[in-house]
């Protein structure tokens, strides 16, 4: 099997080719470990949990953003070849490692946290029927895969991005959250909620099967004050 890995070292970008055995059940992460341990100790990539939980290992393989620890080589190999690159729309630090600080920045911009009045004597109970409304969205591991593929960002860098709006959805539909729902939506609009161009890429790559584009549409439908003026995206 021919493996091409895009390297970035000392401000130089180049592809390095390796010839390796194809192993049926190997994950992309295991393949990278094999290369690093046996062929090139300087190869740099990021991983931690190895089980699709920490969200750190997103990379691009044969032009698709995937979690390296979740994806098998056999599912992406084409013509006995794999091309592994860092993800798009992020600053590369070294080889396959990109700067993840934008994730925290975007969450801060949309105020993506729970607002509550803390009562230490009583549990803040959530009923199963209420939980169902946003249960799927709580699966987000902030891996950024949806963001790295999001085409709206090519038109407007200030677009908060799919995962940030999924986070807004999660709190708008959580009955325990004390921030006013419309206030949350207004903050989402300041971060260009209506700039989504419905390319569906976020839903196609999410390793947790979350459809951020659907979350965005739901938030737009829930908006009591939709902007049909300047801010509204003309792609529709
Ligand atoms: S559907 Fe919208 S949010 Fe999702 S990737 Fe496309 S532009 Fe981005
Ligand atoms: S919505 Fe999916 S792809 Fe996006 S950050 Fe969360 S888990 Fe990753
Ligand atoms: S190593 Fe944690 S999600 Fe892949």
β-partners of residue 92 are: 98
Q: Which of 98, 116, 151 is the last residue of a domain?
A: 98
**Residue 207 tokens, joined:** 């390793």
**Is any ligand 3 atom within 6 A of the Cβ of residue 33?**
no
- The SS3 call for residue 71 is coil
CATH number for the domain spanning 124: value is 1.10.1060.10
Cα–ligand 3 centroid distance for 169 (angstroms)? 24
Based on the domain organization, do 162 and 217 belong to the same domain? yes
**Is any ligand 1 atom within 6 A of the Cβ of residue 202?**
yes
Based on the domain organization, do 22 and 65 belong to the same domain? yes
Mutation probe of ligand 2 site: the residue of 207, 211, 214 with most atoms within 8 A of C-beta: 207
**Is any ligand 3 atom within 6 A of the Cβ of residue 150?**
no
Based on the domain organization, do 92 and 145 belong to the same domain? no
The whole-angstrom separation of Cα 135 and Cα 133 is: 6
Closest C-alpha residue for ligand 2 atom 3: 206
pLDDT single digits (tens) 44-75: 999 999 999 999 999 999 999 999 999 999 99
**Is any ligand 3 atom within 6 A of the Cβ of residue 69?**
yes
pLDDT single digits (tens) 125-146: 899 999 999 999 999 999 999 9
**Is any ligand 2 atom within 6 A of the Cβ of residue 213?**
no
Token pair 């004050």 is at which residue? 225
Q: Is 190 within a domain?
A: yes
**Is any ligand 1 atom within 6 A of the Cβ of residue 142?**
no
Q: Is 227 within a domain?
A: no
Cα–ligand 1 centroid distance for 233 (angstroms)? 13
Based on the domain organization, do 115 and 193 belong to the same domain? yes
Query: How many CB atoms lie under 10 A from the CB of residue 187?
Result: 17
Based on the domain organization, do 51 and 72 belong to the same domain? yes
pLDDT of 217 reads: 97
Cα–ligand 2 centroid distance for 124 (angstroms)? 27
pLDDT single digits (tens) 190-233: 999 999 999 999 999 999 999 999 999 999 999 999 987 545 54
CB 17 within 8 A of CB 2: yes
Based on the domain organization, do 114 and 215 belong to the same domain? yes
| Whole-structure pTM value | 0.94
The whole-angstrom separation of Cα 128 and Cα 89 is: 38
Cα–ligand 2 centroid distance for 48 (angstroms)? 17
**Is any ligand 3 atom within 6 A of the Cβ of residue 142?**
no
Q: Which of 58, 81, 98 is the last residue of a domain?
A: 98
Based on the domain organization, do 200 and 106 belong to the same domain? yes
Based on the domain organization, do 120 and 177 belong to the same domain? yes
CB 57 within 8 A of CB 47: yes
Q: Which of 74, 98, 122 is the last residue of a domain?
A: 98
CB 223 within 8 A of CB 189: yes
Range of the domain at 45: 2-98
Count the domains in the chain.
2
Based on the domain organization, do 89 and 189 belong to the same domain? no
Based on the domain organization, do 20 and 33 belong to the same domain? yes
Residue 27's pLDDT band, with cuts at 50, 70 and 90, is very high
């Amino acid at each position: 099997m021919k493996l091409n890995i895009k390297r970035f070292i000392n401000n130089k970008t180049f592809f390095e080719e390796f010839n390796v055995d194809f192993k049926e059940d190997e994950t992309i992460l295991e393949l990278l470990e094999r290369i690093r341990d046996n062929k090139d100790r300087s190869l740099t990539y990021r991983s931690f949990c190895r089980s699709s939980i920490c969200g750190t290992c997103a990379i691009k393989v044969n032009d698709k953003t995937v979690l390296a620890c979740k994806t098998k080589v056999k599912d992406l190999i084409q013509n006995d070849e794999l091309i592994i690159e860092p993800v798009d729309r992020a600053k590369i630090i070294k080889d396959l490692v990109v700067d993840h600080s934008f994730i925290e920045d975007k969450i801060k911009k949309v105020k993506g946290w729970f607002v509550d009045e803390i009562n230490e004597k009583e549990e803040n109970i959530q009923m199963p029927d209420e939980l169902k409304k946003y249960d799927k969205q709580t699966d987000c591991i902030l891996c950024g895969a949806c963001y790295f593929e999001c085409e709206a960002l090519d038109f407007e860098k200030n677009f908060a991005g799919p995962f940030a709006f999924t986070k807004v959805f999660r709190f708008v539909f959580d009955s325990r959250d004390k921030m006013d729902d419309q206030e949350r939506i207004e903050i989402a609009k300041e971060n260009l909620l209506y700039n989504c161009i419905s390319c569906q890429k976020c839903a196609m790559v999410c390793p947790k099967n979350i459809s951020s584009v659907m979350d965005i549409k739901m938030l737009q439908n829930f908006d009591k004050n939709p902007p049909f003026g300047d801010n509204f995206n003309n792609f529709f």
